[in-house]
Amino acid sequence: MSLSIHQLKPQSVFYYFEEISKIPHGSGNEKAISDYLVAFAKQHHLEVIQDAAMNIIIKKAASPGYENAPTVIIQGHMDMVCEKNKDTVHDFENDPLQLRIIDDMLYATNTTLGADNGIAIAYALAILAATDIPHPALEVLITTEEETGMGGAMAIDPSHLKGSILINIDSEEEGHLLVSCAGGVRTKHILPIVWEDIQENAVIYAIRIRGLKGGHSGMEIDKGRGNANKLMGRILNDLSTVCSFQIIDINGGSKMNAIPRECDVLFAVAPGTEEVLKAKVEEWGLLLKNELRTSDPDVFIQLDELNRAIQRVFSPDTTYKAIASLVLIPNGVQTMSMDIPGLVESSTNLGVVTTDQEVIRFESAIRSSVKSLKYKILNEAKMVAKILDCELKADSDYPEWSYNPDSKIRPLFQKVYEEKYGKEAKIIAIHAGVECGLFKEKMEHLDMISFGPNMYDVHTPNEHLSISSTERTWDYLLAVLKEIK
């Protein structure tokens, strides 16, 4: 007999997770869920602040006996990464997520699940709604646009918050306590398009890359997974050595902070090149199958001849610069930490390529736990742009979160974990941005930690959440709150 979500434990947590899943809440589309949180607070007679950025702060007084305990901020973000495969029919602006249970895992149906970071909201609302959970005074802080540059955290007015301890619930491995993270900056490499009329009798083809795993551009950047945009650059560069062609458009990836799984290029060639094209695409299909046999065994390349009325194509110079941009823009792991074995120290991800009527945009997410290396990668990107007569824009620059050797909340989390589970929690630093760096910059006094239940394949349509881990992590959180006095 299959379970329904209403039978899952903790019941209140999964109830609120399901409620959140009914409300579209992709980055930049958070007003509805922000308003839902305001309505929740009012329904439960709690103080609530909704700022201009749609961030939410909900305050709840301490339980009896905890009046003198330090105020705790429970923090997460309300936006989710909206990813689906191209053949999936789902409107992230309007459609609810379709939840499904397979064994111990909760999935959406062919879309991202939004457990990153809906689980933080579900935990927080379950605590706020409860009358039988002992806890210090609470300030629940739920931010917007975390996934697209941490705009909500940047907009937070620290005067609204009095807490001295911040518990971030935006981590994805049970038993791992996050104490440091990378900073980052987003870049847009912008290539102006010079168009020209398509040659008479030109044949239109599309090359499509499919079957890559993708994943989170911080957490999975060290897995060696193929980046569809970078792979397309290599294919086109090689193709240019055997035949002349002009690009019509390039589009790949959909989120800067997700390793792109798919990329399409539309181009025009002279008649009579079909055999050369087929041979070259077949060659690259075999080459990538070999290169990515461990990380992306299902990768494939598709060549399609299209019957379309195309009026214009990129000039040869724009075609060359587009290919050169794909090839030369920095991507992947740049340095590994010498202090923490296995930790990526700096990286960059060419996540999105889009073509419109005037320009091609190449959008990257740079990450580093060392500020100077972040700007080293940024400067390399600027030089590539200058060489190719492109504009380079940088925004969403956010700071790293440095390890605090004097933390009081970290040893408390460690103590409670060992008491509950008879083993030590693992202290980690990650190569991904969490909002703690920004909060530390705004509120230097904060003592912070991040944790969460087991999630898998985050930022992909295969994202799933462990049900049993969600329950254990809930029990762990309540045990920690009980100990803060």
Rounded-to-integer distance, Cα 41 and Cα 44, Å: 5
Active site residue 51: no
Peptide bond into 405 cis (omega under 30): no
Question: What is the CB-side half-sphere exposure of residue 309 using CA atoms within 13 A?
Answer: 0
Polymer length in residues for the chain: 485
Burial classification of residue 50, based on how many CB atoms lie within 10 Å of its CB (0-12 exposed, 13-18 middle, 19 or more buried): middle
Q: Are strands 138-143 and 105-107 parallel, antiparallel or unpaired?
A: unpaired
Mapped onto helix, strand or coil, the DSSP state of residue 225 is: coil
Catalytically annotated residue among 18, 146, 249, 264: 146
Q: Is 146 a catalytic residue?
A: yes
Q: What is the rounded CA–CA span in Å between residue 118 and residue 37?
A: 12
CA distance 343 to 364: 20
Smallest CA-to-CA distance from 22 within 3, 5, 41 is with: 5
Which of 162-182 are b and which e, b meaning 16 or more Cβ less than 10 Å from the residue's Cβ?
ebebbbbbbbbbbbbbbbbbb
From CA 329, how far away is CA 363, in angstroms rounded?
Answer: 10
Contact 139, 147 (CB under 8 A): no
φ/ψ of residue 4, rounded to 5: -100, 165
Q: Provide the CA 192 distance to its chain's centre, in angstroms.
A: 28
Q: Evaluate whether 463 touches 258 at the Cβ level (below 8 Å).
A: no
Alpha helices in 262-307 (DSSP H): 274-291
C-alpha 114/C-alpha 211 separation (Å) is 22
**Cβ-Cβ contacts under 8 Å for 308 (sequence gap 6 or more):** 204
The Cα 1–Cα 5 span in angstroms is: 13
- Per-position DSSP letters for 337-366, written without gaps between them: -SSSTT-EEEEEEEEEEEE-SSEEEEEEEE
Packing angle of the helix pair 409-421, 467-483 (nearest 10 deg): 120
30, 79, 249, 435: the active-site residue? 79
- Token code pair at residue 247: 């690009």
SS3 381: helix
Structure tokens at 191: 């290539």
196, β-bridge pairs = 313
Catalytically active residues, by annotation: 79, 146
